[in-house]
Amino acid sequence: MQNIGSKLFGGLVVLLLGALLYVTVFSDGLGKGPEIKITNTQGQEFVLSKPQKPVLVNFWATTCPGCIEKMPALAKMKQELGDRFELVAVSMEYDPQAQVQKFIQANPYPFVFVMDQQGKIAEGFGEVLLTPTTFLVAPNGKIVYKKIGEMDFNQVSDLIQKMSPQFQ
């Protein structure tokens, strides 16, 4: 009887490991980053579908109090983790360009600001409509984190550190 139980347990472990392997290697999970080119603050270009290092994409608007309130926390995360990842703050299509520019000039945060004037970036991430909405794109282009609303800074920091051990 004990032998049957251990065989069932072993089979369950193998099944779970197989499912985990499928989800992490073969499944698209949350999807892939779109074929959109971004230029970072150093003038280097990367494509969100294959960025080579983690990219945190945060959709925000000047009319979103929660978005504005969390910008200093995003800046702190970028300062703490440095070159381990790219951080891209994408303003929404409906946000007036002059208003976005004024905010960016008044708040020189250490990350890339992109104005999504035609909504192509929001469309590429599955028609983002609400702010804040945050995605973490892995170096292989897979989206490994998606959150509508306030993101979990600790969870995202841990994911970034695990995906970029070469930058320790």
Are 39 and 25 contained in the same domain?
no
Kindly report, residue by residue over 76-128, the tens digit of the pLDDT: 999 999 999 999 999 999 999 999 999 999 999 999 999 999 999 999 999 99
pLDDT at 23 over 90: no
Range of the domain at 85: 31-167
- Domain co-membership, 60 together with 92: yes
Contacts of 143 (CB under 8 A, 6+ apart): 29, 30, 31, 32, 33, 125, 135, 136, 137
| Counted domains in the chain | 2
86 vs 52: CA distance, rounded Å: 10
The whole-model pTM stands at 0.81
Question: Is 60 exceeded by the pLDDT of residue 26?
Answer: no
Q: How confident is the model at residue 43 (pLDDT cuts 50, 70, 90)?
A: confident
Computed over every residue of the chain, the mean pLDDT equals 87
Most confident of 15-24, 36-45, 146-155: 146-155
